[in-house]
Structure 1
């Protein structure tokens, strides 16, 4: 039974008969326009009919309760208040129509109701109005923000009221043309039904139901302009300016973040972000982000343990955190090791907000990547030009060119600023001038400083994302909360790898295969490594020319080093994919990092400091910020002294193996002689002219050093060394990057394989099980096959 029929039934109980044609059900029940008057006659019994006037300028004892359907669920608190003695009529769908009597009316007898004067029964039209907080629905500010309470001018009732107000002024022929043009593009709207319906409220109701209130508003303005109703279109646009700016901003963010390009962008090789995204664990107490787990070694006390699950917080809850004094946080910092997915998390949050899934209490979300800001700063046409914060927003988002709400204290704006580590300018936090006017032009560095300080747009919230070594340069007084992305749990790894592929059989094979290697399973805590595992295993399982056996451990570390170095060149130097070419400095940095890593492995430590970098001719930024292979540790973990480490202990061991590999290929010598010779000049291995260099002596020393290490800290170095000398596709790429030419010819691979097999056989009865397992893994890395 629809809402009007139910109203008629209630009226008939008082002796009034109403007979009117049925209309399609509306999500707003029996809404009527302000100037509408209807007269219905009852001729069922042949009696004289009574005229019943429905108006909106009087009060009745009837109050409509609307359905909590999808299109009206946000208007529950925006209905006009009714007298306390009002009778309640439920007009929702899915339940029988009902009415409720207030407590004072429960004792009224039915005959007393029939005796009331029913000649002027009035039904209050529930025209949408500004949201009103009901007494029995009072909530705290935090609860309101969590449930997504919209600004009154962004909520659907406000749009509904203004659309109805403007459209009700259109003449009949214009309204007919409006409906015809509307139905021409919107197949879900029935033209015959709209032409038969003269109620403007029903038209607006149907448009919002089908299109949504933002799309319906845009479509209305567009049609009014096509019908040359310029003044009406301008009036509606002016009244709903905030909605239009917000809608256009959302569309821009959706276009920007809808698709996720992983690795090298290629046509047709992309994934919708929603289909592959798995939200990583985010901790409210950052402890360094480095996973201390290791396949062969116990957790080192130098690295802080991973935080407990009790400290995890959802992305949408970051902006509802409270400071110690109970005030809401303004500046939230999120850090993490390279490859942990900070940019993807920021992109997913922007997409969710734009599509109305989270943080609806935020009026505007402005995404300003520091990578884009750095590119803007280096543009010749703009490098010397000053710009205001309003002009900066307008530069990146043209839809915000008429935005005048930045300085409103009640305007909730969030600036999402990721990749802070790629803004390479040295920001002068102490001497930068103070800005408080959004229209005052200044240098881009000054704008960034004042935005983070809170002097510019003080009512806005700031979300900064970047690597710890870069974020630590911001004065702590400007940061309210520090969070850290911890990556995937074991369940999240499987979920991510499974969601990437429609072929469930292929997904199951990939999940099963990556779990066979404990080190890879640990490293897949980083979403970046998970993506590499998915891509490489997919290529292997789907393409026969890639190889019969899936790649083992070393290729993943090679790709990690190569991809992170390429990203450094692309982001820091603004190079395109086809322009990336490693310089001698890039090779020197990797070689020096490998030398430092080998020294740390030999000393059985995993933390280094600034003076350690200086000893190897390296800078803090190029190692801890831009290399993508190292990270800064919290000062509390290193006794208030800035300490650094590789993003995982196995990455440190891999870089040590890379240094051994580079020295042997470039100079023909080994750095793994016995300790008694360590401080003597290392001679080159004798190699006859034109003869390939032999690997046997190198691996004899490496195996000896591994067996002599009581703590097993050389075991993974030997495993990676075996994988580096495998002559395969990944090794060809490695030679081109590290040397600029193919790897020189090498001999003795078969002899090395026999050496490993003989060592395993000799030690099968005397060595610990872990040592034998590692030697067998070394042999598998050398041949890149299972035994």
Structure 2
């Protein structure tokens, strides 16, 4: 039959015939000329000897830029290899099991006891060897290219081979269905009897992956289930990759900021500005201060030559020139770690960068913690393949992660959300992706490199959380530094189509240096844009300088609410600050005031415990502090607040809260010495301000001046009533009396203040009244 001969020509095993067949003339995606056309040509040449040839127009010249030849070796080997090695300490037990049906979820009757598999010391991580992609670059200039089975020639050949197996009637029915579902393919193009022409045109019109998916759906719709299954098996790697790409695009294409509202979102690609990411971890804290010189912090910002792009993190190399396997990224709260992960994932899913990564799989620690605590799986022990298939059902029966040459990435973000301690010293060594173990042990072995040993691993979290990972398991430590001044302006310009509004916001922001420093954090930068965009809709807005206190109040409220949502599972509509939450905030303010009196910006773990606080609550969960690098702190665990101004704000908040809720001055509680004359003052806003003024004017310039500015801002009724009531204070709390007298006291002090204090005192009055002077 004609159909049988066509199949033999397409899928025959003769090597010379295959090579001759696949060396097609150049076109946009492959050959536009089939074997049947070549037969017709040979028949025409025979006829030429017998009769006068008809005039035939010459073939159009082939395009030179897309010379794709579908030539594949008969070996299924890929063009790269990778070796891995499992290591373990002497006498260490190794868990190695592989069920007969890999990929299944844990059985309920799992009774094996692996307690004997605990070891007393942690193994050395295996050497990670990157596949050789140095000879290839993608269109962005990055080294690497698609895996051959993910690339167009393999998909083209697979589709052509399967469609050639259809009968004439089946192929006709298939093309009619394809045209109905994809109108971009015209009826004339769809009715082309040549298989290669049809496949070429389908890929050119709808794209590589979409042509494959549409072909599969049409085959299934036309009841050609055998052919559909054959095509699915030939392109299974492509389909797994496409499922992951589709999931990541759907998850990260839109970004929702602030309080999530229906319809309120932006396209991440349109508004994203990449922050500075440094390979020199200096703590990420901006040491600048508006009044103090020199800067009070010994941890300067890193230099520009240490910066690396988020999409180039896994192009970094270790000292020996080998590729990095495990990259840890940290940053201050609000520095944009989650958004950077979203942009990396979106760029990979849309094949802009890192195309050599076959798969990018997100194993968020928040999801891992939910699986562990809520027992979503039927057993406390689970294999990593079970876990991946549970989180990504489309990756079921995916054996590629175990191949020696498979290059893929595991993203493990929100490390601080995994509340259980990880024992890197005594966790058992797990050898095999199908070995069932406790989730804690799985995580440890992923980081060690014993599970998913061919993967590159990207871990993100706050420094105090990721510091528990042994340094010998980390190949590169990076830190998000935030926005430079140019990045802030780019951030504003991308969010509005009105250049005049962008210029108004930038000019207005620069009038307050302390807010410029705080806006280095991308989240604060978004707050600034959101507030000022609304405010500039009002007439005459912008005549007065910006106020500093409301921004710090809102940042503090947001971080406390995020703590309750992310770490304690409260919903967005049911956020309620308990007595313990308020006490945490007040004790942190008390610590900040003590540091202010001692003229220091760094506190130790012992000082945290002195105030009855848990170091992890302060340095990780609060979102208002960070741990400093061990190298900068002589190996001891030391911490600091987001910046010096935020420390001064919390100190002022503590002083004001004690005054408002306890009707007393902090000086009466023994925090610091004060002349006895002030102890006899009536407990009023005027007396509170008098104590603060005396303390500020009798101290070196810059020590208490910004603290005084925040305290004056908190005395503003709009701040302590509208912003703080319902969170730190109940709505039924009495109003603060004597605010008019406090304002008069401040105005009198300005008239007699030293010249070097005059400008800051005027700023204090602006914070209290927001009136131009």
| Same-fold status (TM-score > 0.5) | yes
Identify which range, 155-164 or 538-547, moves more after superposition. Answer: 538-547
Among candidates 765, 768, 771, match of residue 779 of structure 1: 765
SS of residue in 2 equivalent to 1:147: coil
Matched, 1:144 2:132: no
SS of residue in 2 equivalent to 1:739: coil
For residue 185 of structure 1, what is the aligned residue in structure 2?
181
For residue 38 of structure 2, what is the aligned residue in structure 1?
37
| Separation of aligned partners in 2, 1:398 and 1:784 | 57
- Deviation of the 1:438 alpha carbon: 1.1
Could you say if the C-alpha distance between residues 29 and 617 of structure 1 is closer, same or farther in structure 2, counting changes exceeding 3 Å?
closer
Identify which range, 182-191 or 597-606, moves more after superposition. Answer: 182-191
Task: Please tell me whether the aligned partners of residues 438 and 456 of structure 1 are also in contact (alpha carbons under 8 angstroms).
Answer: yes
- Deviation of the 1:545 alpha carbon: 14
Task: Please tell me whether the aligned partners of residues 381 and 436 of structure 2 are also in contact (alpha carbons under 8 angstroms).
Answer: yes
Matched, 1:376 2:371: yes
| Separation of aligned partners in 1, 2:625 and 2:466 | 14
Matched, 1:222 2:217: yes
Task: Please tell me whether the aligned partners of residues 316 and 359 of structure 1 are also in contact (alpha carbons under 8 angstroms).
Answer: yes
For residue 740 of structure 1, what is the aligned residue in structure 2?
730
SS of residue in 2 equivalent to 1:292: coil
Identify which range, 608-617 or 505-514, moves more after superposition. Answer: 505-514
For residue 519 of structure 2, what is the aligned residue in structure 1?
524
SS of residue in 2 equivalent to 1:324: coil
Q: Which runs of 5+ in 1 are unaligned?
A: 1-23, 53-63, 82-125, 134-138, 688-692
4+ residue segments displaced more than 6 Å: 42-47, 129-133, 543-550, 673-677, 679-687
Q: Pairwise mapping of residues 108-147 of structure 1 onto structure 2 (< 5 A)?
A: 141-142=133-134, 144=136, 146-147=142-143
Matched, 1:408 2:409: no
SS of residue in 2 equivalent to 1:712: coil
Could you say if the C-alpha distance between residues 209 and 657 of structure 1 is closer, same or farther in structure 2, counting changes exceeding 3 Å?
same
Matched, 1:159 2:155: yes
Residues 108-152 of structure 1: per-residue CA shift (max 9 Å, x gap): xxxxxxxxxxxxxxxxxx99x99989xxxxx96346363331111
For residue 755 of structure 2, what is the aligned residue in structure 1?
767
Could you say if the C-alpha distance between residues 44 and 173 of structure 1 is closer, same or farther in structure 2, counting changes exceeding 3 Å?
closer
| Separation of aligned partners in 2, 1:300 and 1:677 | 25
- Deviation of the 1:344 alpha carbon: 0.7
Task: Please tell me whether the aligned partners of residues 367 and 416 of structure 1 are also in contact (alpha carbons under 8 angstroms).
Answer: yes
Among candidates 432, 447, 471, match of residue 427 of structure 2: 432
Task: Please tell me whether the aligned partners of residues 669 and 683 of structure 1 are also in contact (alpha carbons under 8 angstroms).
Answer: no
Could you say if the C-alpha distance between residues 759 and 462 of structure 1 is closer, same or farther in structure 2, counting changes exceeding 3 Å?
same
For residue 460 of structure 2, what is the aligned residue in structure 1?
465
Task: Please tell me whether the aligned partners of residues 607 and 644 of structure 1 are also in contact (alpha carbons under 8 angstroms).
Answer: yes
| Separation of aligned partners in 2, 1:316 and 1:143 | 19
Matched, 1:719 2:709: yes
For residue 644 of structure 2, what is the aligned residue in structure 1?
649
Matched, 1:211 2:206: yes
Could you say if the C-alpha distance between residues 682 and 473 of structure 1 is closer, same or farther in structure 2, counting changes exceeding 3 Å?
farther
- Deviation of the 1:732 alpha carbon: 2.2
Could you say if the C-alpha distance between residues 236 and 679 of structure 1 is closer, same or farther in structure 2, counting changes exceeding 3 Å?
same
- Deviation of the 1:307 alpha carbon: 0.6
RCO greater where, 1 or 2, for CA within 8 Å and sep 6 or more? Answer: 2
- Deviation of the 1:413 alpha carbon: 1.1
Q: Which runs of 5+ in 2 are unaligned?
A: 1-24, 56-60, 81-130
- Deviation of the 1:383 alpha carbon: 8.2
Task: Please tell me whether the aligned partners of residues 302 and 637 of structure 1 are also in contact (alpha carbons under 8 angstroms).
Answer: no
Among candidates 664, 670, 681, match of residue 669 of structure 1: 664
SS of residue in 1 equivalent to 2:523: helix
Count of residues in correspondence between the two structures: 688
Could you say if the C-alpha distance between residues 671 and 161 of structure 1 is closer, same or farther in structure 2, counting changes exceeding 3 Å?
same
Task: Please tell me whether the aligned partners of residues 291 and 648 of structure 1 are also in contact (alpha carbons under 8 angstroms).
Answer: yes
Among candidates 218, 222, 243, match of residue 248 of structure 1: 243
Identify which range, 335-344 or 737-746, moves more after superposition. Answer: 737-746
- Deviation of the 1:541 alpha carbon: 2.7
Matched, 1:584 2:579: yes
For residue 695 of structure 2, what is the aligned residue in structure 1?
705
For residue 117 of structure 2, what is the aligned residue in structure 1?
none
For residue 90 of structure 1, what is the aligned residue in structure 2?
none
Task: Please tell me whether the aligned partners of residues 669 and 682 of structure 1 are also in contact (alpha carbons under 8 angstroms).
Answer: no
Task: Please tell me whether the aligned partners of residues 630 and 645 of structure 1 are also in contact (alpha carbons under 8 angstroms).
Answer: yes
SS of residue in 1 equivalent to 2:402: coil
Among candidates 486, 489, 492, match of residue 494 of structure 1: 489
SS of residue in 2 equivalent to 1:269: coil
Task: Please tell me whether the aligned partners of residues 183 and 191 of structure 1 are also in contact (alpha carbons under 8 angstroms).
Answer: yes
Could you say if the C-alpha distance between residues 447 and 30 of structure 1 is closer, same or farther in structure 2, counting changes exceeding 3 Å?
closer
Task: Please tell me whether the aligned partners of residues 79 and 131 of structure 1 are also in contact (alpha carbons under 8 angstroms).
Answer: no
For residue 630 of structure 2, what is the aligned residue in structure 1?
635
Could you say if the C-alpha distance between residues 315 and 142 of structure 1 is closer, same or farther in structure 2, counting changes exceeding 3 Å?
farther
| Separation of aligned partners in 2, 1:677 and 1:25 | 84
Residues 729-751 of structure 1: per-residue CA shift (max 9 Å, x gap): 67423132113335531122222
- Deviation of the 1:187 alpha carbon: 2.8
SS of residue in 1 equivalent to 2:601: coil
Q: Pairwise mapping of residues 679-690 of structure 1 onto structure 2 (< 5 A)?
A: none
> Which protein has the larger Cα radius of gyration, Structure 1 or Structure 2?
1
Could you say if the C-alpha distance between residues 367 and 633 of structure 1 is closer, same or farther in structure 2, counting changes exceeding 3 Å?
same
| Separation of aligned partners in 2, 1:497 and 1:602 | 38
Task: Please tell me whether the aligned partners of residues 144 and 355 of structure 2 are also in contact (alpha carbons under 8 angstroms).
Answer: yes
Root mean square deviation, CA, Å: 3.2
For residue 311 of structure 2, what is the aligned residue in structure 1?
316
Identify which range, 203-212 or 508-517, moves more after superposition. Answer: 508-517
- Deviation of the 1:510 alpha carbon: 2.1
Task: Please tell me whether the aligned partners of residues 549 and 714 of structure 2 are also in contact (alpha carbons under 8 angstroms).
Answer: yes
SS of residue in 1 equivalent to 2:724: helix
| Separation of aligned partners in 1, 2:31 and 2:262 | 52
Task: Please tell me whether the aligned partners of residues 331 and 479 of structure 1 are also in contact (alpha carbons under 8 angstroms).
Answer: yes
